[in-house]
Amino acid sequence: MKIIKKLIKFIPLIVAIVILFFLIYPNYDQIVKVYSISSKKYLFLAFLSAIASYFFMSLSLHEMIKIMGYKIGFFDSFSITFISTSVNYFLSSGGASGFAIRTHLLNKKKVPVSASVTTSVVLTAFIYLILGFIIFQSFLLHLFQIKHLNSQIIEGFVASIVVFLIPLVMTLILYNYRFRNRWAIRIYYFINSTLYQITKYQIAKEDFKYFKNQLNFGINLLDKKKYELPKVIIYVLFDWVFNIIVLYFAFMSINIKISVITLIVGFSFGIVMAVIPILPAGLGAMELVISGFYSNYGIPFESAIFASLVFRVFYYIVPSIISLIMYYGMRMVEPDIDRV
C-alpha cells in the first residue's frame, strides 16, 4: 500500500515527461538545427534575466522579513528563495511544499513560524495579484489588437479572474479575524505535515495559543507598516518583468522579433499552466501551450518549442540545480532542527 502511495506521487511527473517526449521527439532534428544557429549572446542574456528575476524575488522576501521586524542576510534570503521555489517545481502541490520549506528555513534563521506564515501569505498574494493583472491587461491589449472576441480572449479573461481570486482569499484569511483564527491551526499543522513528508523533520512544537497571538501581532504590525509594502510590490513586479524577458531573449537568440503584446499573451498562457497544481511547474503543458500559441502567429513550431525549452532550462532547471547546492550548504552550516 505504501509503495502504491509513493508511485501515485510520481504520476504527475510521468505524465509531464510523456507530454515532453511527444512534443520534442518528432521535432528533435529541427530543434537541434535551431539551436545550432542560435545566438549564444542572447542565450546568456536570457540566463542573466532569470537570475535577475530570482534576485528581485529574494529582495521581496528580504523586505517582507524586515517589515515583520526580523533581519536575515540577503544571501540567506536568496538561498531560501531558490530552495523553496525549486521545491515547488518538483512537487505539484500548488505551492504548499515551497511554503512549508520556506517556513522551515526561515525558522532555522530564528524567524518565528507566525512571521514566516504571514510573510509567505502576503508575498503569495502579491505574486498572484500582479500575475492576474499581467494576464488581464495582456488579453485586453490582445483584444484591441485583433479587434474581435475569440476563445483565447475568453480563456484569458477567465484565467485572470481565477488568479485574482487567490490573493482575495488570502487577504480575507489574513485580515478577517474569524477567518484567520479558523485557518490558523490548519495552516500550522499543515506546514508540519507537509514538511515532514519532504524532509522527515518538523518545526519544533510551540504552544498554538502563542503561535496565534504572534500571528495576530504580525498582522497588526503589517497594518501599521502598510506604507512600506509598495516597495515589496515593485520587487514582485520586476520579478515578473524579468521572467517575461527570459522568453523574449530566447526568441531573440534565434532572430525572431516578436511584439510585446504577443509575447506577454503567450507567456500568460504558459505561466497559467505552471501555477495549476496538476503537473510539476506545468512541465510539458507549458511548453505545449507556448509552442502552440506562437506557432499560430507565424513562428515556426520548432522555434517556438526551442524558446519554451530555453525558458524551462534557464528559469526552472538551472536554478533547481543551484538550489540543491545551496540547500546542502545551508545544512552544513546550520544546526539541524530536532526530530519530534
Q: Burial-class residue 141 by CB neighbours within 10 Å (0-12, 13-18, 19+).
A: middle
Residue 142 has pLDDT above 80, yes or no: no
Three-state DSSP state, 236 = helix
Confidence at residue 249, expressed as pLDDT on a 0 to 100 scale: 96
Q: Quick one: which of 14, 15, 216 has its CA closest to 112?
A: 216
Confidence at residue 296, expressed as pLDDT on a 0 to 100 scale: 85
Residue, of 286 and 223, whose pLDDT is higher: 286
Extents of the domains making up the chain: 39-237+316-333
Residue 338 has pLDDT above 50, yes or no: no
C-alpha distance from residue 293 to each of 34, 240, 267, 268, 302 (Å): 18, 20, 9, 11, 12
Residue, of 42 and 25, whose pLDDT is higher: 42
Task: Supply the angle between the helices 208-224 and 151-175 in degrees, to the nearest 10.
Answer: 110
Residue, of 191 and 15, whose pLDDT is higher: 15
- 86-122 pLDDT, tens digit per residue, is 777 666 555 566 777 787 788 778 888 778 877 887 8
Confidence at residue 148, expressed as pLDDT on a 0 to 100 scale: 67
pLDDT-wise least confident of 67-71, 113-117, 295-299: 113-117
Beta-carbon contacts of residue 111 (< 8 Å; ≥ 6 apart): 65, 68, 70, 72, 119
Residue 219's pLDDT band (boundaries 50, 70, 90)? confident
- 196-217 pLDDT, tens digit per residue, is 555 555 555 555 666 666 667 7
Output the pTM of the full model. Answer: 0.82
